[in-house]
């Protein structure tokens, strides 16, 4: 689902592997646990966009802050990380493909 929520300023980037594999959307369970237990976010970087992924303990939701060409676009959230990965891939690959081909989606 869409949201206006931004990444909390006190979160630091996790400097290990990405939480979501950009080739098959598989979730790294070890990184998922680290993010849930600490104030870290992980970058998910498919070809056409960047998503900063983090867990909100109070709301018990995963959030993704979407960036395209160094510009903030929108945030999304879901209770399940796999659903969030699917949603943002579907939305932003479609958006970028439409943008590149000159169509407005």
Q: What is the largest CA-CA distance in the chain?
A: 43
Residue 75 token pair: 């945030």
Half-sphere exposure at residue 75, Cβ-oriented, CA atoms within 13 angstroms: 17
Supply the pTM of this predicted model: 0.85
Extract the runs of DSSP E, i.e. beta strands, from the chain: 2-3, 12-13, 40-44, 50-56, 61-68, 71-78
Domain boundaries, the chain: 2-100
pLDDT values of the chain reduced to their tens digit, one per residue, 105 residues: 999 999 999 999 999 899 998 888 899 999 999 999 999 999 998 888 999 999 999 999 999 999 998 999 999 999 999 999 999 988 887 554 444 444 444
């Amino acid at each position: 689902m869409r949201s206006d929520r931004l990444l909390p300023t006190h979160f630091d980037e996790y400097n290990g592997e990405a939480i979501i594999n950009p080739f098959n959307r598989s979730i790294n369970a070890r990184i998922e646990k680290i993010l849930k237990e600490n104030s870290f976010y992980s970058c998910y970087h498919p070809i056409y966009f960047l998503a900063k992924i983090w867990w909100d303990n109070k709301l018990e939701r995963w959030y993704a802050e979407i960036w395209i060409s160094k510009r903030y676009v929108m945030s999304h959230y879901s209770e399940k990380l796999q659903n969030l990965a699917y949603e943002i891939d579907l939305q932003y690959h479609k958006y970028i493909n439409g943008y590149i081909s000159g169509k407005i989606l």
